[in-house]
């Protein structure tokens, strides 16, 4: 039996309603495998938490970067509240150790686990909001997720690398970049792709990822570094 009091000690946030806390960590697959349980899965909490998280992040960015346009703020927010960053945050605070999953899901540590962790973080926010209100969630998000903002802004990670490399390639070498899958490996539920970015016939850089889109973004980022276009 998972002891959620250990997680409460770790986060220094003690829930009044322990069922809400437990529900936040309960994946749909666990309910399907344990139909006799009195628990509900966390999808409704995730729906609520997603909205609360977006408000907190938007409010924070609006105040922190007064010179940024609406488009820039939207791009920074998207970089911050994507599945990769949120799942990393969830992993950092130990959420992976408390997930209630089916036996099948528990064995899968690929991309599916990344989404489960990101969804659990949002469900936890929804549960905390119901249990203790907006200020408690605001404090939690400031402690766990928002510190990543500085790196995202300083390294300009919020800019879409594919758009930027296309803009620079057309400006400096008068070509439109093309992408080609160079290698594909792994089972269907945990694919790994290597993608090359080409200027005409020339391979400029490569990128790896768990989807073609992720690999293309990494390839574009590498090309920007190779060409010294990271302004």
Q: Which residues are catalytic?
A: 50, 122
Please indicate if the annotation marks 122 as binding a ligand: yes
Q: Is the dihedral of CA 163, 84, 48, 146 positive or negative?
A: negative
Q: Which residues are CB-neighbours of 4 under 8 A, at least 6 positions away? A: 15, 18, 21, 22, 25, 98
Task: Judge contact between 78 and 152, C-beta under 8 A.
Answer: no
Please indicate if the annotation marks 72 as binding a ligand: no
Write down the H helix ranges in the chain. Answer: 4-11, 18-24, 28-33, 43-64, 70-80, 83-92, 103-107, 111-132, 134-144, 149-154, 161-172, 212-226
Please indicate if the annotation marks 174 as binding a ligand: no
Kind and range of the H or E run holding 99: none
Query: Annotated binding residues for Mg(2+), as ranges?
Result: 46, 119, 122
């Amino acid at each position: 039996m998972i002891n959620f009091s250990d997680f409460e000690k770790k986060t220094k946030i003690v829930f009044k309603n322990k069922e809400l806390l437990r529900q936040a960590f309960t994946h749909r697959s666990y309910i399907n495998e344990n139909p006799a349980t009195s628990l509900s899965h966390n999808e409704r909490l995730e729906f609520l938490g997603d909205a609360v998280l977006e408000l907190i992040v938007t409010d924070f960015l609006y105040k922190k970067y007064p010179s940024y346009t609406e488009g820039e703020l939207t791009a920074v927010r998207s970089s911050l509240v994507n599945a990769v960053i949120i799942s990393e945050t969830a992993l950092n605070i130990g959420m992976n150790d408390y997930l209630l999953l089916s036996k099948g899901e528990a064995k899968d540590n690929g991309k599916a686990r990344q989404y489960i962790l990101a969804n659990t973080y949002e469900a936890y926010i929804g549960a905390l909001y119901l249990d203790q209100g907006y200020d408690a969630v605001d404090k939690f998000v400031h402690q766990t997720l928002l510190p990543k903002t500085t790196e995202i802004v300083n390294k300009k990670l919020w800019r879409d690398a594919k758009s930027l490399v296309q803009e620079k390639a057309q400006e400096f070498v008068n070509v439109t970049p093309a992408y080609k899958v160079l290698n594909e490996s792994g089972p269907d539920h945990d694919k790994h792709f290597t993608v090359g970015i080409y200027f005409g016939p020339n391979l400029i850089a490569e990128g790896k990822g768990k989807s073609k889109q992720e690999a293309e973004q990494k390839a574009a980022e590498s090309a920007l570094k190779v060409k010294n276009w990271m302004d």
